[in-house]
Each structure stands twice: as structure tokens, then as C-alpha cells.
Structure 1
Amino acid sequence: MTAVIPRAAVSVVVRWSEPFANSVQSRSNARYLLVQRGKEPNKGMWSLPGGKIELGEKTLDAAKRELMEETGLTTSVSTIIKQDRCILRWHTDGPFACSDSIHHSQTSGVSFHYVISQCFAEVTSSSPPNIIASDDAMDARWWSVDEMKDAENEGTVIEGVGSVVERSEKLYTSGLLECEG
């Protein structure tokens, strides 16, 4: 049996809300980007965009790469989408949280173990940009926190995603996840 060792991975909480909304409106109108996994582990489940960190790759660089590969969103200064300026800004002080994703197999014990660093980015535009899933994402779309919680309870969103998003929302609305871009 091959030994399974923990792998470093990254996920990205990408937030969009209506521009110029006050903090209460911003919180209630906020949408978060989730992708539907196209490969194991968690094939078919919805989760935050992300994946493995390559050897020698910085965490934030891995987050930007994975987001671009799975959704097409890039860190370019701005993109014009239907006459709307869309800007992707990143929290550059490093990950805001860390979690484990451990998967067990009936025959061999632990089959996957990822230590996931959660990074944060926000999209500034008048409406959420259209996302086209690619790479190992089967689909991608914007979710409200309530939609995400309901889907997590139904078993279609990976357990723990909602709590990561809620943590990011609290930090963001408290001014602790400032973004640059």
C-alpha cells in the first residue's frame, strides 16, 4: 500500500456585491463563486475554486492560477464585460484561514489528505461576471450564503464551505480582509 501524505492546497473565496451598497446591503446582496468538481475527490460536488499548490509556488500565486484555470477570472487590472468594468482584487496579506480535507476509502484507509489555505478576492462590477467553468471544474456559478447553506445541508456543497465563506464575510465586513488591485 502506498503511503498517503498530506498535500498543500489552496481555495479561493471570491466575493461579489452590488457596488456602493452600505454594509448591511452589501452583506445581504453578496454572492460567492463556487465550482462543481469534475474530478475526485468530491466529483460532482460544489466547492470553492482551488487545487494543489505546486512545488515552489507561493500560496497566493497558486490561488490566482487555480481561479484562472477553473473559472477564467484573472488578476488583470480590468476586464470589460458588456460595457461593465470588472476588477478582481486580492487580499494580499496571505491566507485568512486553513482547513483539512481528509477522504477515507473503505479498502485502504485515508485516500486523500489536503491541507487547504483559504485566500480571498473580491470582484468589483455592477453585476456578477459570467463565469465559464474549465479545467477540472464541470460548472461554476454565483451563490448567496443562504443558497450555499441549504445546498450544504442537502449534501451538494462540500461540508465546511459555508463556514469558510461566513468567516470571510465577517472578516471582510469588519474591514479585516482588505483587497488590493
Structure 2
Amino acid sequence: MRRLLMIPPVARALSTRAYPQAPRAAVAVVARAGTTPPKYALVRRSKAPGAGLWSLPGGGIDVGEATMDAARRELREETGLETGAWHPYPFTTADAIYTDDQGRTEFHYLIAETFCALSNAEPLAAGDDASEARWWSLQDIERMDDVSGDCARVLKRAEALVAAGLLP
């Protein structure tokens, strides 16, 4: 027997990306290669919000998808990376709020920041909504003017947690 799924107007409004009624849940992945110095996988966004900017791989969490499953999926889709030592849960959160010319909130994401350690800077293959994927050092990222929002802050927090032995 086939069931027809009806989505109420309120739920439909809450799920829209642009001009949402509530923040959307998303993930970002700090993919860290244990090189000297450490390198981080960043992707150049090809779609709004943040089109043209370098950012951590990530995206929206699908309904019914666990946070860490979404992180693994987004890392695979945007960089081709499939292996690594994952911290079992997000280590921090961040807001990504974009406003339009009239000051209205066009996009609002609450992002669960996750962590995946790799021993080497494996080849990256940009995919999904990423037009490019590259490894960068934190020093490089801090000098760039085309990096999205909280990227450097999130990476610094991850580095502090790695140094304290709290992330793999």
C-alpha cells in the first residue's frame, strides 16, 4: 500500500533555504592532514550562500539523517575523502547568517562543526556544490580574503583541542 505524504505549510516554510522561518541544521567538517604543518581541506562554494568563497566542506543535514552521518556524506560528496579518524560528535557550533541588501535574513544555518583526522593530505576531488577542493595551512587561511565567516576561528579551536589531546 502506498502512502501519500502531505507536508504541512509550516513544515514547508521551515525547510526553505532562502528567507527561512527558522535556522537550518547543517554540518561542516574540519578535515585535518597530520602533515607538518597541518593542512586543512577547504572547498570553494559554487552556490549561494557564500558562492566563490573557500570554506570547510559541509552542508545541510537531511531529515532523518544523523549529524555525523551528514558530516561523512558531505565530506565524501565535496572532497572525495572517505577515510579518517572521526571524533564521535561535533566539537563546537557556529552560526552562518547572511543578510540581503534590505537587511533581511536571507540564509541562516546553525552549523555543527565536526572533526576528521587524516595522516596525509590525500588527493581531493571537488564534487557536489564545490567547484574546487584544496589543502591549506592555517597560516595560509588566515591570510586569505576569500574565506567564509568563522573558518579560521573554527580551525584554531580544533588545533587547540588537538594540542590538548581532545581530538584525534
Select the residue among 107, 114, 132 that pairs with 1:139. Answer: 132
SS where residue 164 of structure 1 aligns? Answer: helix
Shift of 1:108: 6.8
CA deviation vs aligned residue, 1:20-65 (integer Å, no higher than 9, x gap): xxxxxx5xx1001100001000000000000000111111000000
5+ unaligned residues in a row in structure 1: which ranges? 19-25, 76-87
Q: How many residues align?
A: 151
- 4+ residue runs over 2 A deviation: none
Q: Distance in 2 between matches of 1:3 and 1:73?
A: 31
- TM-score, normalising length: structure 2: 0.85
1:173 shift after superposition: 1.5
Q: Quick one: distance in 1 between partners of 2:26 and 2:151?
A: 15
**Aligned partners of 1:3 and 1:140: how far apart in 2?**
29
RMSD of the alignment, in Å?
Answer: 1.6
1:3–1:169 distance in 2 versus 1, CA, 3 Å = closer
Partner residue in 1 for 2:77: 69
Gaps of at least 5 residues in structure 2 are 1-18
Scaled by the length of structure 1, the TM-score of the pair is 0.79
Query: How do 1:14-163 residues align onto structure 2 when only pairs under 5 Å count?
Result: 14-18=31-35, 26=36, 29-75=37-83, 88-92=84-88, 94-107=89-102, 109-125=104-120, 128-151=121-144, 154=145, 156-163=146-153
- Specify the SS of the correspondent of 1:8: strand
CA contact (8 A) 1:4 1:111 kept: no
Contact 1:4 1:110 (8 Å CA) reproduced: no
